[in-house]
């Protein structure tokens, strides 16, 4: 596709349920990032994938959060046993590579609401 | 810790006026900054960037100024239009070990509202 896509666009779930969020990066982009954006706040880094290297998971807030990426394509972010504080917009971004001055292109995000 | 933040959470201007959005940073080692625009319901979109060896950079209707002495950035939008209404973030790509990529550090953002 022309840009980064994410699904679902909105997800409402009950506390304690697991959710899976999907990101389709721009074709050919080897770097992929997940960020979290709480209401009225800036972006919080979660995880970074670069090609077939081991991902940088240092931003994941707890062991309930995990993410996978198959090669240089789709990525899924999984949140287990969701809590109300997990409510946020989850944004995915991809770039040609992970260097600082290479533009990151963002998807529209998935708005997660945990009741 | 290090941070990138903005002075004002909201800014309201009249259509046609110039807008100035400010940003302060704390890491004196930061050498590259990016301004993003985020419209409601969308992901952030790159507007313009600037390297620390520059004081000013101009784009189409936008200018970014960098004052390294006081660690301050500003984004100036000329002849502001209703389509400019959005949240604006300054961001600092944090580059560490190769495995860390270039994670972006954002502040809270400034909500720009353009009144017709």
Report which listed range, A34-43, A60-69, B25-34, is most confident.
Answer: A60-69
The residue written with tokens 């996978």 in the block is: A68
The CATH-assigned architecture of domain A5-114 is Sandwich (2.60)
CB A57 within 8 A of CB A47: yes
Give domain limits for chain B: 4-115
- Selected for mutation to probe chain B from A32, A36, A41, A42 (highest B CB count within 10 Å) is A42
| Statement: B4-115 belongs to CATH 1.10.760.10 | no
Q: What is the pLDDT of residue B1?
A: 39
Average pLDDT over residues A65-84: 95
d(CA A100, CA B44): 17
Q: Judge whether residue A114 has pLDDT over 60.
A: yes
Does B48 touch chain A if contact means CB atoms closer than 8 Å?
no
The pLDDT-based confidence of B6 (bands split at 50, 70, 90) is low
Average pLDDT over residues A72-78: 94
| pLDDT, tens digit, 9 for 90 and up, residues B58-115 | 999 999 999 999 999 999 999 999 999 999 999 888 755 555 567 887 877 899 999 9
Which chain B residue has the Cα nearest residue A10? B41
Q: How many CB atoms lie within 10 A of CB B94?
A: 17
Structure tokens at B14: 């009249």
Q: What is the pLDDT of residue A91?
A: 97
Give the distance from residue A40's alpha carbon to the nearest chain B alpha carbon, in angstroms: 7
């Amino acid at each position: 596709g022309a840009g980064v896509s994410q699904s679902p666009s909105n997800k409402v779930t009950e506390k304690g349920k697991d959710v899976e969020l999907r990101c389709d990066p721009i074709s050919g982009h080897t770097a992929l990032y997940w960020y979290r954006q709480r209401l009225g706040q800036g972006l919080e880094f979660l995880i970074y994938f670069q090609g077939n290297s081991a991902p940088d998971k240092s931003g994941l807030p707890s062991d309930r959060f995990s993410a996978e990426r198959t090669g240089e394509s789709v990525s899924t972010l999984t949140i287990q046993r969701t809590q109300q504080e997990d409510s946020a917009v989850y944004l995915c971004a991809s770039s040609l590579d992970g260097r600082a001055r290479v533009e990151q292109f963002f998807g529209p995000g998935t708005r997660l609401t945990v009741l | 810790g290090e941070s990138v933040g903005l002075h004002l959470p909201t800014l309201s201007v009249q259509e046609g006026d110039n807008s100035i959005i400010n940003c302060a940073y704390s890491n004196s080692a930061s050498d590259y900054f990016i301004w993003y625009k985020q419209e409601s319901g969308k992901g952030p979109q790159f507007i313009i960037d600037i390297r620390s060896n520059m004081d000013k950079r101009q784009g189409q209707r936008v200018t970014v100024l960098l004052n390294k002495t006081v660690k301050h950035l500003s984004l100036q939008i000329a002849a502001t239009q209703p389509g400019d209404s959005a949240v604006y973030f300054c961001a600092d790509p944090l580059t560490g070990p190769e495995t860390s990529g270039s994670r972006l550090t954002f502040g809270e953002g400034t909500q720009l509202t353009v009144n017709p």
